[in-house]
A and B are shown apart, each in its own frame.
Chain A
Amino acid sequence: EGQLVESGGGLVQPGGSLRLSCAASGFIFSSYWMSWVRQAPGKGLEWVANIKEDGSEKSYVDSVKGRFTISRDNATNSLYLQMNTLRAEDTAVYYCARGNAGDSWGQGSLVIVSS
């Protein structure tokens, strides 16, 4: 089934940066696309970014292009989301999910952008 555990969330000021991590276990990480999906407080799900098995392809939702970078380290079974120039509207729980169809999700990491 696989397990995903996010970390790195917290409170950050507008314009600041944060790096989220997702530790994968229980499956062959290097065989899967991986995604980040976020959920603003009381709102629905929004896909943020995804990355191919070998890291050669990456895609982003328009609202984060140029500010967020998705990456992975298959040697350590880790997925990352580097978030720069954060805005109040980036406040959300960020989930890592396996594949593009999200057959497994982490518990989420809360990011609050506020002064």
Chain B
Amino acid sequence: DVVMTQSPLSLPVTLGQPASISCRSSQSLVHTDGNTYLSWFQQRPGQSPRRLIYTVSNRDSGVPDRFSGSGSGTDFTLKISRVEAEDVGVYYCMQGTHWPPITFGQGTRLEIK
């Protein structure tokens, strides 16, 4: 199984400041079709998960452009350019290249300092 490792697990951020979350996979996520199936999800307190980013760097509809994804191979990053209060929650990376099973990172809890 592909192991997804996120860091940090807790991320206190001042409002208006940038934030960055790292996600590393135990093997390359490049699929034989050439795509890299790495997604990012946000789960606000008491809510269902919501996808923010797919195939490394593509933002889902309605996702603010302060969210961006980057990376390749085994190293990926989610960046928030200026954190807002509504960004509080837990962020997960997920790989859909080598399955079953589809696997998630442990989650990174973002809080406001």
**Which A residues fall within an 8 A CB radius of B?**
1, 35, 37, 44-47, 50, 59-62, 95, 100-108
Contact = CB atoms under 8 A, between A and B. Distances in A.
Given A106-B48, A108-B48, A35 B102 contact: yes
A21 to B, nearest CB: 17
Contacts of A35: 102
Contact of B60 (A59, A103, A106): A103
Given A59-B100, A62-B101, A44 B48 contact: no
Interface string B37-52: 1010101000011110
A105 B106 contact: no
B37 to A, nearest CB: 7
B92 A105 contact: no
B107 A103 contact: no
B96 A95 contact: no
A61 B92 CA distance: 18
B41 A45 contact: yes
A103 B54 contact: yes
Nearest to A1: B61
Secondary structure call for the B interface? loop
B101 A101 contact: no
B51 A103 contact: yes
A61 B39 contact: no
Contacts of B39: 101-102
Contacts of A59: 99-101
Given A101-B51, A105-B48, A106-B48, A44 B99 contact: no
Given A61-B100, A101-B39, A102-B39, A44 B50 contact: no
Contacts of A46: 104
A105 B49 CA distance: 7
A35 B49 CA distance: 13
B110 interface: no
A44 B92 contact: yes
A45 B101 CA distance: 12
A44 B49 contact: no
A102 B51 contact: yes
